[in-house]
Structure 1
Amino acid sequence: MTRVQLDHLPLKRHATVQAIDWTAIPESEGHRLRSLGLEEGVEIEALHQGILFWRDPIAVRVGRMRIALRKKVASAIFCEMKP
């Protein structure tokens, strides 16, 4: 399996969150993500990217929910892609 940062996960690919660098995420954002169930071991899928130049934000599926993440936050989340 391949390890990749969430902001580089190809769209429509399923992955498992392996690690999150909580120190790189603002405290209020980290609290929100923890409340939504984003933690190590959860299944995740990149769904859409923004249409502007920076492709920000990224829409991801966490379990049965869809959430939007800024690329800066997504770059602090490390995933393992499923074959």
Structure 2
Amino acid sequence: MNLDILPLGASARIISIDWESIPDSEGHRLRSLGVDAGATVSPLHRGILFWRDPIAVRVGRMTVALRRKVAQAIICEISA
């Protein structure tokens, strides 16, 4: 399941990230914040505009804002 459609408040583990579809500068920012395969994420809030950008995501103890296009490149598995 892609991170952009993960239900709000659900906890999930990142399975993989399509780094090719993410700009290099954004990929570097995500890696430095700990967003990589194996990390636990939880979507907290989506924007209210038509595209519902940005998406606020909890990564560990941080809250990170992601564009919807970037969140679509992150494949997750919902934690039990």
How high is the TM-score relative to the length of structure 2? Answer: 0.97
How much has 1:65 moved relative to structure 2?
0.3
Aligned to 2:56: 59
Aligned to 2:45: 48
Aligned to 2:32: 35
CA distance, structure 2, for counterparts of residue 28 and residue 54 of structure 1: 22
Partner SS, residue 53 of structure 2: coil
How high is the TM-score relative to the length of structure 1? Answer: 0.94
List 4+ stretches of structure 1 deviating above 6 A. none
Percent identity over the alignment? 62
Structure 1 residue 82 and structure 2 residue 74: aligned? no
How much has 1:13 moved relative to structure 2?
0.2
Q: In structure 2, list runs of 5 or more residues that go unmatched.
A: none
Higher strand share: 1
Aligned to 1:13: 10
When the two structures are aligned, how many residues end up with a matched partner? 80
How much has 1:48 moved relative to structure 2?
0.1
Aligned to 2:19: 22
CA distance, structure 1, for counterparts of residue 15 and residue 72 of structure 2: 13
What letter is aligned with 1:12? G
CA distance, structure 1, for counterparts of residue 24 and residue 7 of structure 2: 27
